[in-house]
Amino acid sequence: MIEKGEVDGIWEKAAYIVEGEYTTGAQEQLYIENNGMIAVFDAAQGITVWGSLQCPYYIHKALMALCDLPAERVRVVQMETGGAFGGKEEYPSMIAGHAALLAMKSGRPVKIIYDRMEDMAATTKRHPSRTRHRTAVSRDGKILGGEIDFAIDGGAYATLSTVVLSRGAIHAGGPYYWPSVRIRAKAVATNAPPHGAFRGFGAPQSLFAMERHMDRIAQVVGLSPIEIRRRNFLQPGQATTTEQVVREPIDLRKLLDRALNVSDYESKKQRFAKENQAGATRKGMGIAAFLHGAGFTGSGERYLSSVVGVEGCADGNVRVLVSSTEFGQGTKTVLSQIAAEAIGLPYENVSTAQPDTLEVPNSGPTVASRTVMVVGKLVQSAALGIKQTLLSSNLLQDGYTAAEFRAACRQYVAAHGQFRSWSRYEAPADIFWDDQKYRGEAYAAFAWAVYIAEVTVDLTTYSVSVDDFVALQEVGKVLHPLLARGQVIGGVAQGIGFSLYEKVVWQNGRMQNGQMTNYIMPTSTDLPPIRVLFEELGNVYGAYGAKGIGELPMDGPAPAIINAVSDAFGIHFDFIPLLPEDIMDRLEKDRLDNEGFAASPQENGVDPTGVVR
Amino acid sequence: MTNPREARAQAEISFTINREPKVVHAYPMERLLDVLRRQLQLTGTKEGCGEGECGSCAVLMDGTLVNSCLIPVLQAAGSSIITIEGLASGNTLHVLQQAFLENGGAQCGICTPGMILAASHLLNGKSEPTMEEIQEGLSGNLCRCTGYSQIVEAVAEAARRRTTA
């Protein structure tokens, strides 16, 4: 539970009390490469596994316990991994365990590769959620306080549910200032397979609720979705729900204005209001404003205590030694780029070692949008260590060229042997977190964003198409513009799937549609132009001013799109996935209700215009 | 290694792979995908779903784009097949590969071989496709990482380079 201020006293001061309940469904990561692992056992060397995975040291730890082997006799090697999105954070420890036990028992190499149906049936998906909001609002639309009740379906075992719940709860208040709030959060056990990590990790669920609820508050108070947000945005100097003071000069109003401007929001809104009176389609605009904390929550990074190495090699080139894995996000590119920048070498002279627990230190898992910000900062400092060593041993002088660096590096290795520089995470002194009261600096940095969706709903098929999407974010310094844009577009695409297409059908705790034929993700023809824009404030805690970026774009699309669909009809849709049949059912129900009212206008306080009082 | 009974059950199949004639011995209903990956060690062709939905296993068979997970190898007898390994010439990347590289068209890479073959099939039929035609031409290939924009941009860029080259 998160508690801030005096919630119980606010209700009588409120001009409006706004309630809403919002739900989100399970979502399959649907990496195109299924889970797979190879294990080999040798009595002298122990167990070695190679596979498709995110977190080598998670598997290392699991296999030490499972096989009862010491650390040096367990080796985990990450191979090229065909997508992960959180879906290969935790589950690979299971399949690695199965392969390892079979290899030990049989004395033969064992390869296990799931086919699609097996992968869909067995592996973890995004936690379904239910969020209730009860909010006290002043006459002029300011949030006075409220209660948020956030619940997620953990499935049959706890696994990562506690940490998903934690991140979801901390993000539940959105990018707004709450003078008082009480956030209760719980994960419940059900008969489904365990739910687990998926990009966003609880935040997309609770932020969907918050941003849908803001539109409901706006309607009750009689303000526009723009104005209600503008009046409640967190500002520098104010404190979040966990009482973390915003120290950076973030101006969310400016972010909102820019996104509105780019999307041509106001004029489209006016035009749609006219056009929606007739015709075979309805159009709408939706806004989502949100934030995403980078790195492990609270004391997480302190406990992880990540280590990173940078090596000056015998050929004069530099190698980055991290357990951070590449699965499409650009880990190798960006970490090499950071080391190259720190030393002043061309990118071509830097490489990243294959994540192999025999070779690389534990730089923590590749999750939580922490790689560039946290691990990147450690790479930067370890790389500076290499440079400093060469400078202080007089093999190199300031103002050196790349050729001089490489010559000095070769000389050093020839004289002293292996040349490595290590850097270990140390929590900044001004970051404080209380695990008991759930209070303090939840994250070293937040990324901020405003997304705007434009949708058309076809009144014959009830299908929703997203026609335009503006994604504006502040993620600190953008280190690699091409890759950053790729992260945002990819995240938005997954968010569109989460909102409008991807439905896990459960029966007796099993997924009934575990195929790509009946679990539908967006294709190249289903997506709008996604316009990606950045603001850059920088960040003192991240490598060269970077914050986390990977998960942020998953948070905004669902509320922006469902706000737009709700705008198109002037009614609230409060759940995702929102499929055409759901829209049809709702409109049909409203129509029948209205006809019922029309038949007996005097009954039950319904006035003859058909509007419920 | 094959015992006589297995040998009798297998068929001798000849085809051309990446412009080279090949003869394989395989069960007639074996998937072309498995013959490519296991017997011919052409592991660039990927399996994503095994039911023809995702397009990761796409190859060109006599110039037509097919999902190799749905092709019994016997059906490929006598055909000419191009896999992703057959696109680059030596160390020079194919114009599509280069454009994917420069435009962020690949993230994790698992869909990339099929995606590039689909794009190649598209450009062979239409040298200056519109953005919509590119989207349509790639709609049988699923990508979970990129959201497709940078793939579509890469294909458009490759088309420009081909026509101006």
What pLDDT, in 10s, does the model give residues A311-352?
Answer: 999 999 999 999 999 999 999 999 999 999 999 999 999 999
Q: List chain B residues with CB under 8 Å of A471.
A: none
**What is the rounded average pLDDT of the residues A534-551?**
92
Nearest in space to A493 (alpha carbons), one of A453, A458, A545? A453
* C-beta atoms surrounding B124 within 10 Å: 11
pLDDT at B6: 81
pLDDT at A177: 98
Tens of pLDDT, residues A431-490: 789 989 999 999 999 999 999 999 999 999 999 999 999 999 999 999 999 999 999 999
Q: List chain A residues with CB under 8 Å of B99.
A: none
What architecture is the A2-27+125-296+440-591 domain classified under in CATH? 2-Layer Sandwich (3.30)
Q: Which strand (E) or helix (H) includes residue A265?
A: helix A265-275
Flag if A515 and B107 touch (Cβ within 8 Å): no
Domains for chain B: give ranges and CATH numbers.
4-86 (3.10.20.30), 95-164 (1.10.150.120)
Tens of pLDDT, residues A65-113: 999 999 999 999 999 999 999 999 999 999 999 999 999 999 999 999 9
Of the listed ranges A281-285, B3-7, B19-23, B71-75, the one predicted with least confidence: B3-7
Flag if A486 and B146 touch (Cβ within 8 Å): yes
pLDDT at B2: 66
- Residue type for position B32: L
A599 pLDDT band, cuts 50/70/90, is very low
pLDDT at residue A608 tops 50: no
**What is the rounded average pLDDT of the residues A489-507?**
98
Does any CB of chain A come closer than 8 Å to the CB of residue B144? Answer: yes
**What is the rounded average pLDDT of the residues A5-23?**
97
Map residue A448 onto helix, strand or coil. strand
Tens of pLDDT, residues A218-229: 999 999 999 999
CATH of A36-115, one of 3.40.50.880, 3.20.20.70, 3.30.365.10, 3.40.50.300: 3.30.365.10
**What is the rounded average pLDDT of the residues B26-41?**
97
Tens of pLDDT, residues B84-111: 999 999 999 999 999 999 999 999 999 9
pLDDT at A111: 98
Distance (Å) of CA B94 to CA A74, A255, B40, B89, B105: 41, 41, 22, 7, 14
Q: List chain B residues with CB under 8 Å of A486.
A: 104, 107, 145-146, 150
* C-beta atoms surrounding B125 within 10 Å: 12
3-state SS, one letter per residue, for A400-420:
CCHHHHHHHHHHHHHHHCCEE
Tens of pLDDT, residues B36-53: 999 999 999 999 999 999
Which residues sit opposite B23 in a β-bridge? B14
A600 pLDDT band, cuts 50/70/90, is very low
Token code pair at residue B91: 């160390």
Tens of pLDDT, residues A35-49: 999 999 999 999 999
Q: Give how far A390 is from chain B: nearest CA, Å.
A: 35
Number of cross-chain residue pairs from A and B with Cβ atoms under 8 Å apart: 111
Flag if A32 and B144 touch (Cβ within 8 Å): yes
pLDDT at residue A609 tops 90: no
A427 pLDDT band, cuts 50/70/90, is confident
pLDDT at A235: 98
Q: Give how far B11 is from chain A: nearest CA, Å.
A: 26
Quickly tell me which residue has 């297409």 as its tokens: A501
| Average pLDDT over chain A, rounded to an integer | 95
Q: List chain A residues with CB under 8 Å of B54.
A: 32, 516
Which residues sit opposite A102 in a β-bridge? none
Domain boundaries, chain A: 2-27+125-296+440-591, 36-115, 300-424
Contact (Cβ atoms closer than 8 angstroms) between residue A575 and residue A24? yes
Asked if domains A36-115 and A300-424 share a fold, the reply is yes
pLDDT at B104: 98
Q: List chain B residues with CB under 8 Å of A529.
A: 149
pLDDT at B1: 54
The third-level CATH classification (topology) of the domain covering A300-424 is Aldehyde Oxidoreductase; domain 4 (3.30.365)
pLDDT at A430: 76
Token code pair at residue B138: 């790639």
pLDDT at A611: 34
Q: CA of B140: which chain A residue's CA is closest? A: A523
Does any CB of chain A come closer than 8 Å to the CB of residue B143? Answer: yes
Contact (Cβ atoms closer than 8 angstroms) between residue A411 and residue A398? no
pLDDT at A597: 59
More confident call, B72 vs A595: B72
**What is the rounded average pLDDT of the residues A14-27?**
98
pLDDT at B164: 86
Q: Which strand (E) or helix (H) includes residue B164?
A: helix B149-164
